[in-house]
Amino acid sequence: MKDEPIMGCAEENPEEKPKCNPFGTRFLTDDAKVFEHNAWDDVEWSEEQQEEAKRIVENQKTMKVDEEKALKLLSTPADQWDAFYAHNENRFFKDRNWLLKEFPELDVNEECNLQKETVRILEVGCGVGNTTFPLMQVNNSSSRLFLHSCDYAPNAIRVLKSQEAYDTSKMNAFVWDITQPAPEESPAAESLDYIVCIYVLSAIHPDNIRKALNNLISLLKPGGTLLLKDYGRYDLTQLRFKKDRLIDGNLYCRGDGTLVYFFEMDELESLLNEHGMEKKVMHVDRRLIVNRAKQNKKALLRLSCESLKFRPVFDEILLDKELKKMKNDPNIGGSVDLLYVLMYETLVGSGLNRCSQELKSVISRRSQKIKDVEKELEADGRGIKSIKEAEEGAKKIIIPRYARINTLKWTAEEAMKTLETEEWKLQGTAGVENFAEVVGNMKEDEIYVDPHVENLLIFAPNIQNFHEYWMVEQRYLILQDKASCLPAFLLNPRPGSQVFDTCAAPGMKTSHAAAIMENQGKVWAMDRAADRVAVMKQLLDGSKVAIASAFCGDFLKTDITDKKFSKVNHRKIIK
């Protein structure tokens, strides 16, 4: 018996790089081209990145899950997933349409399957069918394919079986906790060609993984294949966890109580060897994920703002007879702004280690002189330290994070219930009289309801990486400032009415109007920038807006007497 790709995909030589398409063939050879693709394969970490990952995990150990809560989660892992599917049903995970790219063996017409009368597959941890149905579809529901699907959450199997595409002549879905003996509905021993485990073993307590593997492997034919894909140590998912998520070692719990374990490759290989598996391919997919839309705008914005904060110091430094020559350095290309950034990193930031040699040379030849001039300025109260102290003494304005419940995807009640399930602390409606004081003292896990705008929630100002939270990523919550919520709220269009939204991109106010209208009626959403209209269309689609017509145009040149606009009874002109 053989095992197949683990935590990635590769050719039969485990030393080779993976060759899946489109992923697996994109290798970053020029850092300047990092934003040309969304992801790069086989990117080795620097020593600094490895040390940073270790530091994050060590810090997590100081904020472990309460022992009593951990024991409860470990004793009933299936209950957590069952509750998850009872609430989310088939609205959460996306279909795995990439299956054949990483596991071509699952194609019944692949050469390795042509001699088989029937290809029998067991998908473990099937959920509501995000692998089951795409696998059937990509094989054109072939009569040569029979697919068993199991999950230890009864609600997941219920939802899967209720779908129209479920065909009992080609499918068999059943409940099974794979750490326990196989039930009657399971396939017979030594009857399967393939077993697919995608993010399954990581959902099991490490002490029970051997039992699970033993139960699964007993169902494989001699020479059958186990296809695995799972979380590796220091995965981004692991490093994003905050307090009350680490249980022990490399075992964590998510906000909904489900478990997740992060493997070392040697650890997983050893487990499989214990069960007599012959390694065909094993590969760690070290993938660099790039936000092309933002191109690290958050970090760039911070760097720009910080550099400008100390500009008075830099301008004084550049008055020096010797140092003003830096402005004409050919490596700068005449950009004084770039020079500000280089001086900021030298005097305030993390240094120039990540700069090219050309840019580094602009400063390095004169670094001591720069520092000496800055010291003279500081002695006169005009240096870096003086600006920092002045900033610390200034009164800070605290602005909370606002997120609007997207009622096109779920109700406010469902949102509140789910937030409570994920251990957010709902504090009710914020008071108007002491609003600033309440917001200023909010804890990171607290939520208030805005006292004015319906379905608007208030989160702590200091909440970290909120844009990466699943409710935000999937647009169940829409990050939207209160001021941006006011136009649609005050307009208050009735369901069935028609609204003309000018300067509509990127679409926050448009989606808000559609939500107030309960997706009934029409919203004409116009913007004169074609690229912003394209972004708006994606946003509206992801927000489940069904009544918007987004188009590119200049409102000042629009014929408002056009017949198609004749039923418009609300206009929103906000820029």
Asked whether the beta carbons of 253 and 245 are under 8 A apart, the reply is yes
Hey, which bits of 265-384 come out as E strands? 278-279, 288-289
Asked whether the beta carbons of 253 and 65 are under 8 A apart, the reply is yes
- Output the DSSP codes for 187-237: PPTT-EEEEEEES-GGGS-GGGHHHHHHHHHTTEEEEEEEEEE-PBTT-HH
In terms of DSSP H, where are the helices of 329-460?
336-347, 357-364, 367-379, 384-393, 412-421, 435-440
Q: Strands 119-124 and 192-198: what pairing?
A: parallel
Rounded Cα distance between 156 and 177, Å, is 13
Q: What is the DSSP letter of 183?
A: -
Q: In Å, what is the CA distance from 345 to each residue of 46, 56, 138, 368, 373? A: 20, 24, 52, 14, 16
Annotated binding residue at 554?
yes
Beta-bridge partners for 571: 500
| One-letter-per-residue 3-state SS of 471-532 | HHHCCCEEECCHHHHHHHHHHCCCCCCEEEEECCCCCHHHHHHHHHCCCCCEEEEEECCHHH
Q: In Å, what is the CA distance from 183 to each residue of 73, 215, 534? A: 24, 11, 51
Instruction: Show Cβ contacts of residue 545 under 8 Å, excluding neighbours closer than 6 positions.
Output: 408, 507, 510, 511, 514, 519, 523
64-71: long-range contacts (C-beta < 8 A, 24 or more apart)?
Answer: 64/244, 64/246, 64/247, 64/248, 65/244, 65/245, 65/246, 65/247, 65/253, 66/244, 69/244, 70/247, 70/248, 70/253
Rounded Cα distance between 490 and 486, Å, is 6
Rounded Cα distance between 60 and 238, Å, is 10
Query: Residue 369 is encoded by which pair of tokens?
Result: 């002189």
Other Cβ atoms less than 10 A from the Cβ of 369: the count is 13
Asked whether the beta carbons of 37 and 290 are under 8 A apart, the reply is yes
Other Cβ atoms less than 10 A from the Cβ of 288: the count is 16
Annotated binding residue at 244?
no
Q: Strands 446-449 and 425-429: what pairing?
A: parallel
Asked whether the beta carbons of 192 and 121 are under 8 A apart, the reply is yes
Q: Which residues are annotated as a binding site?
A: 527, 554
Q: Which residues are annotated as a binding site for S-adenosyl-L-methionine?
A: 527, 554
